[in-house]
Amino acid sequence: MSRQNNLSVMAHGPGDLRLEDIPIPEPGPNEVLLQMNAVGICRSDVHYWEHGRLGSFYMEKPMVLGHEGAGTVTKVGLGVQHLKVGDRVAIEPAYPLHNDQFCKSGRYNLSPTMFCSATPPYHGQLSQYYVHNANYCFKLPDCVSCEEGAFIEPLSVAIHACRRARVKMGSKILICGAGPIGLLNLLVAKAMGVAQVAICDLSISRLEKAKELGVNFIIKVEKQTPQDLAQKVWAVLGEMPCTSIECTGTEFCVQAAVYATQSGGTVLLVGHGPDLVSVPLLNAAIREVDIRGMFRYCNTYPMAIAMLASKKVDVKPLITHRFPLSRAIEAFEITRKQLGIKVMLKCDQV
């Protein structure tokens, strides 16, 4: 470890976020040292800052935040063949530490032994310099910017969601939640050829962003029952959606998604809510509505890069705020208050 400057965004515990210098790490075998360019802020980063934990993962020591990053290779470790100094890469933050049965079957996201940037005990990417496993760094073509590269992580969540939801060409779908993940699901579903998308949210400004991105119908969630919301969905689509992608994690929307979905269709749970949620299970069971889950993503980075390079999706309109790394605390405040869609930190601007 050298002692040069490496400004980093460090969460020290509930409500305590600091900008501090840490040593520049050295890449080990099969690792690369990256000079970070752009890192998006995720709600989970804000959650670690506010609560010092997420789900069953507790920060036992200070942790650098950020898991949506792109950077430039500045040093390669022993054995790295596919990357060289100067290559720009998107970082897949979560990878398995053992080649177990899940890896062998291609579903490495389900391995119980995962490394993940900014999931305790591992540091994240919101630094000027960050070391990562080279096998999970994906070279960006010249036509994909570093900001777009930083979007590949949340875009991967949407690609995996649409795959798990078995989104079909020419179908009508419902998306619950017009935050970054709901909106990315809209872009991916459209790229996959769906005919019509209805999206619901409490926030008019988020629904307006969905309109700008080409959604067919927006539904403002009001004081109503889940069944009322389902009826609204049928009214705008003219029929029941065959797929519903639930990105809010709220009990209300999970219930509405089940009621709304066509018999034989799929409800995909993307959003995380409380451990125990009341679901109209019999309604789903007797209509063969499959309720499916997902955990992060796997095998999505090459497809995400290809979709950006070929302009099949345009993620740039989702960026509402940009800050240099030195103003990270302000950037986190914006995300905490849900004032924008995606807040991007420029780690090469301090």
342 forms part of the interface with ligand 572 (CB under 6 A)? no
Tell the smallest beta-carbon distance from residue 117 to ligand 572 (Å): 10
Q: Which residues in 82-109 are b (16+ Cβ under 10 Å) and which e?
A: ebeeebbbbbbbbbbeeeeebbeeeebb
User: Mask of contacts with ligand 572, 195-224, x by CB under 6 A?
Assistant: ------------------------------
Assigned token pair, 38:
């752009």
Q: Is 68 helix (H, G, I), strand (E, B) or coil?
A: strand
Q: Are 150 and 90 in contact (CB under 8 A)?
A: yes
Query: Minimum distance from CB of 278 to Zn ion (Å)?
Result: 27
For residue 4, the minimal CB distance to ligand 572 (Å) is 30
- x-or-dash pattern for ligand 572, window 17-46, by CB under 6 A? -------------------------x-x--
Q: How far apart are CA 337 and CA 214, in angstroms?
A: 25
Q: How far apart are CA 189 and CA 214, in angstroms?
A: 11
Q: What residues from 238 to 277 belong to the interface with ligand 572 (CB under 6 A)?
A: 272
Determine the interface stretch with ligand 572 among 49-57, 70-78, 185-193, 322-330 (rule: CB under 6 A).
Answer: 49-57
Q: List the interface residues with Zn ion, window 32-91 (CB under 5 A).
A: 42, 44
Residues 98 and 96: their CA atoms lie apart, in Å, by 6
3-class SS of residue 186: helix
- Touching ligand 572, residues 149-178 (CB under 6 A): 153-154, 157
Interface with ligand 572 (CB under 6 A): 42, 44, 54-55, 57, 67, 119, 153-154, 157, 272, 296
